[in-house]
């Protein structure tokens, strides 16, 4: 039998042509699925994409808006990918006509012919037909350009309104919050997220987001956006108004079916397809948000993955009988940091349904399941997803719900939580919820030799979305392969030179390379800013006074000895030893702050004072007026040594923590390291200066000794320090610190904090080397401490003699010559 829907031909005389309209999640995925099903694909693929890029992960746009990911991180396939795979991509070309007789599609002056055509045109935001939607400051939220525009416009704005309290509206609201605007979400329905939640769930969500500072207005219908050129407010049907200086509309989506409809393809709410995904024209198919299948138009990616896979298998002939029979939607999402799982429609309750509910208002936890005919027909979970996997399983498999219904929520599995076994997990269990990757797919990739987390990610996409499943991916690699293979570049000191640190140091010494440019010329495979910065730091430590200091190898902060701010000004943090200051010092700082009209004077988390918003031109003057040394709040260097009041004042203090902290900071100020170095000294185990979460922490013990511990953190990572040793005197403590400093400085990778370095070398090894002198290098380390301390020069003294042209000079103004 000949199948019309199949492109493969036993002996194709000419290559057949597949054209895909739309280069979004569905279009690009279809191309990938085709390559996977038939790597040498027996036909030419041409794609048209309205957006001028390769394709990107639309579901991560929320992260781009809230700043947790850079736009560049969400790209899936760069333009080069299309080239490598022989796919012709017309990016930035909108298809405006098709000719079904001649079998061609046209975008501007480009015409391509097809044998098979696929519509993957997705959908667009719905814009309510009310006045004011074209005002300046009114945005939609669908594309990467929208994201960039919203983010750019939000700068310096005060109040934003988001129209629509659904999933996307809330994501937009959260994104706006991170730009420091006050946000009000306006929802027409009586509660938030009406599709996924019932009234009680909506109320829990509302309380949660209000705690985050977002206002919610429900049952509010918008009548008009007010303003002349710029939007200034929103007016509602009941006559009330709220002021705002920007609006994001997220009021639902509309499938892009118009093009298909105009050229005679049958449409209803969207383009109609059957189980073979074919439209009313036998040579034209459709997948994604523009397709309507068995009455459903989906707005999430999971069903799209099923559709593209079925179609790819059909088209390539891998499985000519592949069909798509519809998706049951179960999603796990994170909305504004609130965990949410939803399946079926919880708000449609029939009189015969059993409703099982559990609420824990104190923790904003709400669970609800609807049991219909003995099976889970719908459920929503908010705040805590303990039972989510079990409920999803019951929902998807349509297995009978447990007779004691509470077991749906409180099974052994829920209580044991983490202790599930990866091995026992079925192959079709989804591991990566962002990209819909199952255990089986990941296992196959690992068996095929992908034994690092990034390699598995590249092959399957698992872990490339929000990243929360990376641990499981790693676990699977370990389970199957025995170990996770190290990525070779992981051991390099900097990305541009394929050598680990000891080899690099040896090579640099052997060749006598004393400047960054010299090292780059001789050893680098790639030039990038990280490599330059890392080399500058390493060479300075290595060559001391012989180092040839090239300022172009340094990042701006390290060139002008201050932190650049988001408006191009800088911050100034003078050193305040041990966090102890004086009336004179405070007066001086106050006077400087006044004289330079400092925008903000702030106590930092490091027990000192920050003067923020200083112009580059003013830096040398501010430093001179302060007359205090640099606090090195900007570079990879010794930062602070926080202290508590200690024995002199505190009734619990057993030793003089402030005196030790000040002594440490005076001795080690200015030391540069591969990463920041932060210390603290506490006068007793109550540990008020948080010594156990510092790179190096010291705590006075009951007997008046000092306990030194290393490798702690409480920033992006949290780790408790490991105890190195106990010493009796302040001098011994200072000496031990110096040894640790030199050993860390000379052995750590670029930007490797002690919280990674200490576990890598192990505390036992460090104790052996630094305390027991097992390598016999302690004397050498001590000598190096002296050398490094001697080399200290306060960088702020460059105020008197800048080291390169225009170092402390803002914009140079040049008049235009007379015409």
Ligand X SMILES: Cc1cc2nc3c(=O)[nH]c(=O)nc-3n(C[C@H](O)[C@H](O)[C@H](O)COP(=O)(O)OP(=O)(O)OC[C@H]3O[C@@H](n4cnc5c(N)ncnc54)[C@H](O)[C@@H]3O)c2cc1C
Partner interacting with residue 763 (select from ligand X, ligand SRM, other proteins, none; CB below 5-8 Å by kind):
none
Q: Is residue 633 near ligand SRM by the rule CB under 6 A?
A: yes
Partner interacting with residue 62 (select from other proteins, ligand X, ligand SRM, none; CB below 5-8 Å by kind):
ligand X
Residue with the two structure tokens 């401490």: 785
Partner interacting with residue 583 (select from ligand SRM, other proteins, ligand X, none; CB below 5-8 Å by kind):
none
Q: Is residue 525 near other proteins by the rule CB under 8 A?
A: no
Q: Shortest Cβ distance from residue 308 to ligand SRM (Å)?
A: 38
Task: Determine the interface stretch with other proteins among 29-37, 149-157, 255-263, 476-484 (rule: CB under 8 A).
Answer: 149-157
Is 249 in contact with 128 (CB distance < 8 Å)?
yes
Task: Give the 3-state secondary structure of residue 172.
Answer: helix
Q: Is residue 84 near other proteins by the rule CB under 8 A?
A: no
Which of 487, 529, 648, 702 is the binder for other proteins (CB under 8 A)? 529
C-beta closer to other proteins: residue 348 or 528: 528
Two structure tokens written together for 740: 């640790």
Q: Is residue 75 near other proteins by the rule CB under 8 A?
A: yes
Return the ∠ at Cα 437 (arms to 68 and 435), rounded to 5°. Answer: 35
Q: Shortest Cβ distance from residue 465 to ligand X (Å)?
A: 9
Two structure tokens written together for 504: 């690099």
Query: Total number of residues binding ligand X (CB under 6 A)?
Result: 35
Listing DSSP states for 303-353 in one string gives HHHHHHHHHHHHHHTSSTT--------EEEEEETTEEEEEES-TT---TT-
Q: For residue 144, what is the enclosing H or E element?
A: helix 144-154
Q: Is residue 482 near other proteins by the rule CB under 8 A?
A: no
Distance separating alpha carbons of residues 438 and 449, to the nearest angstrom: 18
Q: Is residue 126 near other proteins by the rule CB under 8 A?
A: no
Nearest to 430 by CA among 339, 329, 348: 329
Query: Total number of residues binding other proteins (CB under 8 A)?
Result: 46
Distance of CA 335 to the CA centre of its chain: 15
Binding-site string for ligand X from residue 29 to residue 48, where x marks contact by CB under 6 A and - marks none: -------------------x
Residue with the two structure tokens 């929360």: 468
Distance of CA 53 to the CA centre of its chain: 21
Ramachandran angles phi, psi of 747, nearest 5° = -120, -15
Which of 59, 296, 580, 714 is the binder for ligand SRM (CB under 6 A)? 714
What number of other Cβ atoms are within 10 A of residue 787's Cβ? 11
Distances (CA, A) of 114 to 16, 37, 105: 8, 20, 8
Neighbouring-strand partners of residue 630 = 574
Task: Determine the interface stretch with ligand X among 283-291, 419-427, 570-578, 775-783 (rule: CB under 6 A).
Answer: 283-291
Task: Determine the interface stretch with ligand SRM among 102-110, 408-416, 581-589, 714-722 (rule: CB under 6 A).
Answer: 714-722
Task: Determine the interface stretch with ligand SRM among 69-77, 365-373, 438-446, 606-614 (rule: CB under 6 A).
Answer: 606-614
Q: Shortest Cβ distance from residue 703 to other proteins (Å)?
A: 50
C-beta closer to other proteins: residue 80 or 583: 80
Which of 2, 72, 703, 793 is the binder for other proteins (CB under 8 A)? 72
Which of 17, 18, 23, 520 is the binder for ligand X (CB under 6 A)? 23
Q: How far apart are the first and last CA of the chain?
A: 79
Q: Shortest Cβ distance from residue 114 to ligand X (Å)?
A: 14
Q: Is residue 716 near ligand SRM by the rule CB under 6 A?
A: yes
Q: For residue 32, what is the enclosing H or E element?
A: helix 25-37
Distance separating alpha carbons of residues 466 and 52, to the nearest angstrom: 24
Q: Which residues contact 562 (CB under 8 A, 6 or more apart)?
A: 570, 571, 572, 614, 619, 634
Is 140 in contact with 127 (CB distance < 8 Å)?
yes
Ramachandran angles phi, psi of 109, nearest 5° = -100, 20
Partner interacting with residue 633 (select from other proteins, ligand SRM, ligand X, none; CB below 5-8 Å by kind):
ligand SRM
C-beta closer to ligand X: residue 50 or 722: 50
C-beta closer to ligand SRM: residue 376 or 713: 713
Q: 754-761 and 730-747 are packed helices; what angle lies between their axes, rounded to 10 degrees?
A: 90
Q: Is residue 713 near ligand SRM by the rule CB under 6 A?
A: yes
Q: Based on C-alpha coordinates, what's the Rg of the chain?
A: 31
Residue with the two structure tokens 């399957």: 460
Q: Is residue 77 near ligand X by the rule CB under 6 A?
A: no
Q: Is residue 605 near ligand SRM by the rule CB under 6 A?
A: yes
Residue with the two structure tokens 């109550």: 686
The residues binding other proteins (CB under 8 A) are: 53-54, 56, 70-72, 75, 78-79, 144, 148, 151-152, 155, 517, 526-529, 531-532, 550-556, 559, 564, 566, 568, 804-807, 809-817, 819
The residues binding ligand SRM (CB under 6 A) are: 563, 565, 571, 573, 602, 604-606, 608, 610, 633, 639-640, 676, 678, 713-717, 753
The residues binding ligand X (CB under 6 A) are: 21-27, 48-51, 58-59, 61-62, 94-95, 120-122, 141-142, 168, 171, 256, 259, 288-290, 299-302, 304, 333
């Amino acid at each position: 039998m000949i199948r019309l829907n199949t492109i493969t031909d036993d002996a194709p005389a000419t290559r057949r042509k597949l054209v895909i309209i739309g280069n979004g999640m569905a279009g690009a995925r279809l191309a990938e699925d085709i390559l996977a099903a038939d790597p040498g694909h027996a036909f030419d693929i041409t794609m048209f994409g309205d957006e001028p890029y390769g394709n990107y992960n639309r579901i991560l746009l929320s992260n781009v808006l809230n700043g947790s990911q850079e736009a560049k991180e969400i790209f899936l396939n760069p333009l080069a990918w299309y080239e490598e795979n022989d796919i012709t991509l017309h990016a930035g070309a909108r298809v405006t006509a098709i000719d079904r007789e001649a079998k061609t599609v046209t975008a501007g002056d480009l015409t391509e012919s097809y044998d098979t055509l696929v519509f993957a045109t997705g959908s667009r935001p719905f814009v309510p037909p009310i006045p004011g939607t074209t005002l300046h400051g009114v945005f939609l939220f669908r594309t990467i350009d929208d994201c960039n525009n919203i983010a750019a416009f939000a700068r310096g704005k005060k109040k934003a309104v988001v129209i629509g309290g659904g999933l996307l509206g809330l994501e937009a609201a959260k994104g706006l919050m991170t730009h420091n605007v006050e946000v009000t979400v306006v929802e027409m329905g009586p509660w938030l997220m009406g599709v996924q939640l019932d009234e009680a769930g909506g109320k829990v969500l509302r309380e949660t987001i209000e705690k985050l500072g977002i206002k919610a207005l429900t049952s509010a219908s918008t009548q008009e956006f007010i303003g002349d050129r710029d939007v200034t407010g929103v007016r509602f049907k009941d006559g009330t108004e709220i002021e705002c200086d920007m609006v994001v509309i997220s009021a639902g989506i509309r499938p892009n079916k118009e093009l298909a409809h105009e050229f005679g393809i049958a449409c209803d709410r969207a383009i109609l397809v059957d189980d073979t995904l074919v439209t009313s024209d036998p040579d034209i198919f459709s997948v994604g948000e523009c397709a309507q299948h068995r009455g459903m138009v989906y707005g999430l990616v999971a069903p799209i993955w099923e559709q593209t896979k079925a179609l790819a298998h059909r088209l390539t002939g891998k499985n000519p009988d592949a069909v798509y029979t519809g998706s049951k939607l179960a999603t796990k999402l994170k909305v504004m940091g609130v965990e949410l799982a939803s399946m079926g429609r919880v708000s449609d309750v029939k009189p015969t349904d059993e409703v099982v509910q559990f609420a824990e208002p104190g923790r904003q936890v709400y669970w609800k399941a609807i049991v219909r005919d003995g099976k889970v027909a719908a459920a929503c979970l908010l705040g805590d997803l303990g039972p989510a996997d079990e409920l999803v399983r019951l929902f998807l498999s349509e297995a009978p719900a447990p007779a004691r219904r509470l077991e749906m929520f409180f099974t052994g599995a829920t209580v044991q939580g983490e202790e599930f076994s990866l091995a026992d997990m079925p192959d079709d269990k989804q591991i990566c919820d962002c990209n819909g990757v199952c255990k089986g797919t990941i296992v196959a990739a690992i068996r095929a030799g992908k034994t690092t987390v990034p390699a598995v990610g590249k092959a399957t996409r698992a872990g490339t979305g929000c990243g929360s499943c990376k641990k499981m991916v790693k676990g699977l690699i370990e389970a199957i392969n025995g170990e996770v293979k190290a990525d070779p570049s992981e051991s390099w000191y900097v990305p541009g030179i394929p050598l680990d640190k000891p080899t690099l140091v040896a090579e640099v010494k052997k060749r006598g390379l004393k400047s960054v440019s010299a090292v780059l010329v001789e050893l680098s495979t790639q030039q990038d800013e990280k490599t330059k910065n890392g080399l500058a730091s390493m060479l300075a430590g290595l060559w001391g006074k012989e180092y040839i200091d090239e300022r172009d190898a340094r990042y701006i902060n390290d060139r002008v000895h201050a932190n650049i701010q988001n408006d191009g000004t800088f911050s100034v943090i003078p050193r305040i030893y041990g966090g102890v200051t004086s009336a004179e010092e405070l007066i001086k700082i106050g006077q400087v702050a006044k004289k330079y009209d400092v925008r903000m004077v702030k106590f930092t988390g490091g027990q000192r004072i920050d003067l923020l918003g200083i112009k580059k031109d003013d830096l040398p003057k501010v430093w001179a007026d302060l007359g205090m040394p640099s606090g090195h709040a900007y570079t990879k260097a010794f930062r602070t040594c926080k202290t508590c009041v200690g024995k002199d004042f505190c009734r619990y203090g057993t030793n003089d923590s402030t005196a030790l902290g000040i002594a440490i900071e005076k001795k080690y100020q200015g030391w540069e390291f591969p990463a920041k170095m932060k210390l603290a000294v506490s006068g007793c185990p109550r540990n008020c200066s948080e010594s156990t979460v510092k790179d190096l922490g010291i705590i006075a013990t009951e007997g008046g000794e000092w306990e030194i511990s290393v490798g702690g953190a409480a920033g992006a990572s949290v780790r408790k320090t490991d105890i190195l040793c106990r010493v009796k005197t302040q001098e011994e403590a200072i000496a031990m610190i110096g040894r640790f400093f030199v050993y860390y400085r000379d052995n750590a990778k670029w930007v490797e904090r002690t919280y990674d370095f200490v576990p890598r070398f192990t505390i036992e090894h460090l104790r052996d080397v630094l305390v027991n002198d097992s390598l016999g290098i302690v004397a050498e380390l001590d000598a190096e401490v002296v050398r490094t301390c001697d080399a200290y020069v306060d960088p702020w003294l460059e105020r008197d003699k800048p080291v390169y042209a225009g170092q402390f000079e803002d914009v140079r103004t040049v008049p235009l010559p007379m015409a």
